Amino acid sequence: MVGFGAKPRGTLQLETLMNQVMSSYKTGNEELDRWIGEMAELCRPAGVHVCDGSDREYGELAAQLVREGKATALNEAMRPHSLWFHSDAEDVARVEECTFICSRREEDAGPTNHWVEPGEMKRKLGGLFSGCMEGRTMYVVPYCMGPLGSPFSIVGVEITDSAYVVLNMKWMTRMGKEALKQLGNGAFSAGMHSVGAPLKQGQKDVRWPCHVKERCIVHFPEERSVWSYGSGYGGNALLGKKCLALRLASVMGKEEGWLAEHMLILGLTSPEGEKKYIAAAFPSACGKTNLAMLTPTLPGWKVECVGDDIAWIRVGDDGRLWAVNPEAGYFGVAPGTSMKTNPNAMRTIAKNTIFTNVALTGEGDVWWEGMDGSPPEKMISWLGKVWKPSDGPAAHPNSRFTVSAKQNPIYDPMANDPKGVPLSAIIFGGRRNGVVPLVYESFSWQHGVFLGASVSSESTAAAKGEVGKLRHDPFAMLPFCGYHMGDYFAHWLEMGKKTSADKLPKIYYVNWFQKDAEGKFLWPGFGENSRVLKWIFERTSDKAPAKKTAIGSIPTSLDLSGLEILTEKLTALFSIDREAWLKECDEIKNYFKVFSSRMPSELLRELDELIRRLH
């Protein structure tokens, strides 16, 4: 890879633009060439750059951003080939209130999504995108979600005026030439993205252009297209991730009989060398990356990582559920990541990494709250100012790293396999300071679907809004389901009928986040979660004991060898407070009303059964 000092490639001039697009650049896909031309006409960029995804292209773009003062090259000796970005202070997270599912019929978007009539939304977008790229380069980013060569993969093309987005897409997806090859003459999912800050002639650009007021992230599920305006932040701007691989893919999965889920996928190997795969859905910033890369504290156990955020799940020829990670990299939460909590992540991000909204040290390396050691004396905070302890966190709580999965020392050898990996267990979980025990097992697939539907979790900094507020987040998919969630629950029930019960993964619920009266975590978490994984592993082959409770089965013995933990803490971790659970059931009952006639009766029955068992 060339260094960040390399010369940038020139961009095309506006006058020659159309000719260039149509003649000199042939993507090999007629519809794509036509669309590029049409979008260039609409957005009126100063030039068009079709990305080839090469290391050279990455180096040139990075160097250009450094020269323009939009990125800082980190200390080459400490963090080779890595970049530091800090965003506009108002562009740091997903924005759920301006995320729309514009299906033709409002009822198909459901009560948990924002909806606007598609025609009306398109008129608005037409206005917003008209001339929105003036003075900027329009990058065309072909990308593939899912392994190259897999019939299940989906090719998307993102048009963006953000070079930052291009750099991130390079690590997060299979991007450029290889994606075009996969596309061939086929259909692609179109994604339009603009930071929404056209540059008038002579106007000086800002470090992180965005448009707070008109921001919107819009999905047209029937057309498989996305239009995103006004934000450069990950989930709003990297359109392959939440927009295509979850919101649009969930709709495709519903139609075609598969699942697109907000789940990590890990491989777990026992000391005897037996390997099983587990998927887990936790809401944003609730522990997926950490579980996916876990270093077990139990001797002899090994975790390998297939993916840390998204899983596409199908019934395989053998009747088991097989999961693929559509992504090629990690867009992970930085704060809390350390050699103690997640050494594999720390090793993964040692080089070739993009850091966004972390702090910059005096030596030109990065820092965040919860990293090993005390804060360096001299630091620039994520706000770009010299940091003092009284300023609050030096890194934004939702600061992130972007890095290729190939750098993960525990990257699973099957991670690129087109058919995916067979699942033995599915875990749901959330951030709950009480009520929900450390782990319990569902009685059946249907009961497991009920557990998924009843997930509640404290909100985090991953989305704009108040942090720490308990909200329902069914299947950790509330912000990511592209259709009516009542239908989504029904689809999960249907998936369970596609195969025999013994082939289905067992379903679990975990909660690493219970707190004591002083607000301290009761469970040490991170590597110690391997004790829970071991129990789940052994349960899936009926080798670990459990006892039935009203809510599900809990361990009668958890392997706690080598862990010092007070008995009273353990008791608290597994206690089931009947009154609190009855209140929880009231909550769930109320919540399910939101889905009215589309709420599957099976899940209402599961709730009644739970209430009956609690009594």
Give the residues lining the site for Mn ion (CB under 5 A). 284, 309
Burial of 390 (C-beta count, 10 Å sphere; 0-12/13-18/19+)? exposed
Q: By CB under 6 A, name the one of 86, 94, 314, 484 that touches ligand SPV.
A: 94
Contact 333, 289 (CB under 8 A): yes
Provide the minimum distance between the beta carbon of 398 and ligand GTP in the complex, in angstroms, as a whole number: 8
Provide the minimum distance between the beta carbon of 353 and ligand GTP in the complex, in angstroms, as a whole number: 15
Nearer Cβ to ligand GTP, position 308 or 365? 308
Residue 280 DSSP code = E
| 59 is a contact residue toward ligand SPV (CB under 6 A) | no
| 242 is a contact residue toward ligand SPV (CB under 6 A) | yes
Provide the minimum distance between the beta carbon of 489 and ligand GTP in the complex, in angstroms, as a whole number: 21
| 174 is a contact residue toward ligand SPV (CB under 6 A) | no
| 331 is a contact residue toward ligand SPV (CB under 6 A) | yes
> Of these partners, Mn ion, ligand GTP, ligand SPV, none, which one is at the site of residue 105 (CB under 5 to 8 Å by kind)?
none
| 241 is a contact residue toward ligand SPV (CB under 6 A) | yes
Provide the minimum distance between the beta carbon of 125 and ligand GTP in the complex, in angstroms, as a whole number: 27
Q: By CB under 6 A, name the one of 209, 235, 482, 505 that touches ligand SPV.
A: 235
Provide the minimum distance between the beta carbon of 336 and ligand GTP in the complex, in angstroms, as a whole number: 2
> Of these partners, ligand GTP, ligand SPV, Mn ion, none, which one is at the site of residue 455 (CB under 5 to 8 Å by kind)?
none
Count of chain residues binding ligand SPV (CB under 6 A)? 9
| 430 is a contact residue toward ligand SPV (CB under 6 A) | no
| 449 is a contact residue toward ligand GTP (CB under 6 A) | no
Amino acid identity of residue 292, one-letter, is A
Q: By CB under 6 A, name the one of 27, 29, 72, 289 that touches ligand GTP.
A: 289
Q: Which whole-number Å values give the CA distances from 604 to 283, 363, 435, in the listed order?
A: 23, 58, 21
Q: By CB under 6 A, name the one of 525, 550, 569, 602 that touches ligand GTP.
A: 525
Contact segment (CB under 6 A) with ligand SPV among 58-66, 234-242, 549-557, 586-594 equals 234-242
| 135 is a contact residue toward ligand SPV (CB under 6 A) | no
Contact 113, 474 (CB under 8 A): no
Secondary structure E strands in 530-612 = 546-548, 553-555
| E strand or H helix that includes residue 302 | strand 302-307
Contact 345, 410 (CB under 8 A): no
- Contact set for ligand SPV, span 449-478 (CB under 6 A): 462
Alpha carbon dihedral 285, 290, 291, 292, in 10-degree steps, equals 100
Q: Which whole-number Å values give the CA distances from 64 to 5, 68, 73, 88, 400, in the listed order?
A: 8, 6, 11, 19, 22
Q: Which two tokens stand for residue 299?
A: 């001797």
For β-strands 470-472 and 421-429, DSSP reports them as unpaired
Contact segment (CB under 6 A) with ligand SPV among 219-227, 233-241, 354-362, 511-519 equals 233-241
Contact segment (CB under 6 A) with ligand SPV among 4-12, 113-121, 202-210, 235-243 equals 235-243
- Contact set for ligand GTP, span 309-338 (CB under 6 A): 309, 332-333, 335-336
Q: Which whole-number Å values give the CA distances from 273 to 270, 300, 413, in the listed order?
A: 5, 9, 15
Phi, psi at 9, each rounded to 5°: -75, 140
Q: Which whole-number Å values give the CA distances from 467 to 289, 368, 397, 559, in the listed order?
A: 20, 19, 10, 34
Contact segment (CB under 6 A) with ligand GTP among 237-245, 388-396, 415-423, 520-528 equals 520-528
CA dist 155 and 179 (Å) reads 7
Binding track, positions 470-509, relative to ligand GTP; x by CB under 6 A: ----------------------------------------
Contact 492, 254 (CB under 8 A): no
| E strand or H helix that includes residue 64 | helix 55-67
Phi, psi at 515, each rounded to 5°: -120, 155
| E strand or H helix that includes residue 119 | helix 118-129
| 580 is a contact residue toward ligand GTP (CB under 6 A) | no
Provide the minimum distance between the beta carbon of 228 and ligand SPV in the complex, in angstroms, as a whole number: 12
CA dist 92 and 356 (Å) reads 9
286 part of the active site: yes
Nearer Cβ to ligand GTP, position 46 or 165? 165
> Of these partners, ligand SPV, Mn ion, ligand GTP, none, which one is at the site of residue 526 (CB under 5 to 8 Å by kind)?
ligand GTP
CA dist 352 and 82 (Å) reads 5
Secondary structure E strands in 461-568 = 470-472, 506-510, 546-548, 553-555
Provide the minimum distance between the beta carbon of 438 and ligand SPV in the complex, in angstroms, as a whole number: 23
43, 210, 286, 481: the catalytic one is 286
Nearer Cβ to ligand SPV, position 241 or 539? 241
Contact segment (CB under 6 A) with ligand GTP among 57-65, 221-229, 521-529, 554-562 equals 521-529
Closest CA to 584 of 524, 512, 526, 511: 511
| E strand or H helix that includes residue 38 | helix 30-43
Q: Which residues bind ligand SPV (CB under 6 A)?
A: 94, 234-235, 241-242, 284, 309, 331, 462
Q: Which residues bind ligand GTP (CB under 6 A)?
A: 282, 284-290, 308-309, 332-333, 335-336, 341, 462, 512-513, 521, 525-526, 529
Q: Could you list the active site residues? A: 286
